Amino acid sequence: MKRRIGSRTLTHLGRYSLSQTTRKIHNSNFKLLNPSSVTPTTVGTNYKVRQYSNASEHLKTTLSASRDPRHMEQSYDLPKYLLNSPPTQFTVLPNKFRVASEYRHGETATVGVWIDAGSAWEDSQNNGVAHFLEHMAFKGTKTRTQEQIEIEIENMGGQLNAYTSREQTVYYAHVFKHDVPKAVEILSDILQNSKFTDADIERERNVILREQSEVETQPEEVVFDHLHATAFPESALGYTILGPEQNIRSIQRKDLLNYIDTHYTGPRMVLVGAGAVDHNQLCELANKHFGTLPPVFKVRPAERHPFVGSMVVNRNDLLPVIHAVIAMQSVPWTSPDYFAFLVIQAMVGSWDRNLGGGKNLSSRVCEAFAINKELKMHSLMSFNTCYHNTGLFGCYMVGEQSSEEGGIRDAVHTVLGDWARIATLASDLEVERAKTKLKASFLMQLDGATSTAEEIGRQILSWGRRVSPSEVFMRIDAIDSNVVRNVAQRYLSEQDPAVSVLGPADAAFFPDYHTIRGWTFLNRV
């Protein structure tokens, strides 16, 4: 969840992105990581090289001729606006606390701390404590009251934000460049010196309970929480971010302090700056304010999150439409198939009847929803949610019930049929069109210091490095229709899906699980 001092907002962490790496020595007191070279076929460091296409072979040949990533990018004839993108500087402090920054000309900057901890690190007894802690962060420290924190931020003309996701917790501020030292000091004070008084805990407990009640009235939030619960029933990925009501009512000060002591350690945190920031200054500030954090992992993440093909139906006849999510297990951030899934997601696309149009969309399934009024669909959204060790790829649909021909039952059949079509008949033309759309979407996400900081922080925690826009484009270009068909066949065809349904979804309006599973077979095409 996200909260903001200044103008307050409440939202979930956006679902995915890409990135960049240039490492530079700034101070002999800081331990530097070796620069990782740009390779054309794998994102992480633990995966075998996969031969994707002729473009991949070209990149490998170029890389062997020069180990300089910039030289390789230039020889690949990439657009100048990519080659001229600013580098991301990266430093590791002696306590393994990391600092990453990307300078862009301007008068403002975003600085924040990204923490490798969220609801996926919790257990059934303390589920919800990460989100509770985020709420408590702005309630006062040993040196500042809540009012003083708000006044300092307001006097700087800045914004202070925080949000919690399943795998990450983030605190960041957007300020003028000359206020960066003050912002980092405030973030450090909030993270390390919060008081957590009993009165503040009780007051915030009621706020979180009201927030939980509001979330339960939002069908999209409910249906995705149920999707995770049914897809990952044996791991913490199946927990909600807010936690169950009984946990929210029982969390105490000792639970918050124990969570901080366990998870807020040097190797689990990254100080990120984007905009008008100086990396040397940021390293000095990090060493001053975060240099005493313990340099150890006190707990390790789960080795795996078992995916279970299953279905959960939350029948609610008071809702006028059915909300349904169908997902297959996909890949983690560092998988070599990650970018192929992004291309498939762009091919499936998204559609909403309130936006008009749709008859000329590049997505076959979106075009079918827009033209075929018998389907009675309201919207469609494809998604590719990645985590450290697993992922979910699927579609979220909203449509009307119908006991006659059409309705959401036929819409589900249409979506699964499109996945099967991609696995066997994906054409070069539609793959190239999806790649162009994906590139444009990626560049649009990098407008502004805050979005850039979020990209850097998320990637450092997920991949251990920043992937440059140039590398992103090269990886996308290395994907062709053969790769797309191969990935779709392995992950989207003849597999057990996870299904979550909310609304008036009885047997007359929505197919049962065995029917849906049967529709995943390729022999339907």
Residues that are catalytic = 134
Nearest-angstrom CA–CA distance, 102 and 85: 10
Single-letter residue type at 370: A
HSE-CB for 96 with a 13 A CA cutoff:
12
Burial of 363 by CB count in 10 Å (0-12 exposed, 13-18 middle, 19+ buried)?
Answer: buried
Exposed e or buried b for every residue in 196-212, given b needs 16+ CB within 10 A?
beeebbeebbeebeebb
Single-letter residue type at 406: G
Nearest-angstrom CA–CA distance, 251 and 134: 13
Single-letter residue type at 417: G
Token pair 């994907």: residue: 479
> Do the beta carbons of residue 488 and residue 344 sit within 8 Å?
yes
495: its two tokens: 């597999």
Nearest-angstrom CA–CA distance, 231 and 237: 9
106 Cβ neighbours under 8 A, 6+ residues apart? 177, 275, 276, 449
Q: What is the DSSP string of 82-149?
A: HHTSPPEEEEE-TTS-EEEEEE-SSSEEEEEEEES-SGGG--TTTTTHHHHHHHHTTSBBSS-BHHHH
365: left (phi over 0), alpha (psi -120 to 50) or beta: alpha
**φ and ψ at 473, to 5 degrees?**
-65, -40
Nearest-angstrom CA–CA distance, 242 and 247: 9
Q: Which residues pair with 392 in a beta bridge?
A: 329, 385
Residue 440 DSSP SS3: helix
Nearest-angstrom CA–CA distance, 45 and 469: 19
448: its two tokens: 């502004």
Nearest-angstrom CA–CA distance, 71 and 58: 14
Nearest-angstrom CA–CA distance, 468 and 76: 14
Nearest-angstrom CA–CA distance, 307 and 330: 10
Per the document, the length of the chain is 525
Output helix, strand, coil percentages for the chain, rounded to the nearest 5. 45, 15, 40
225: its two tokens: 């929480």
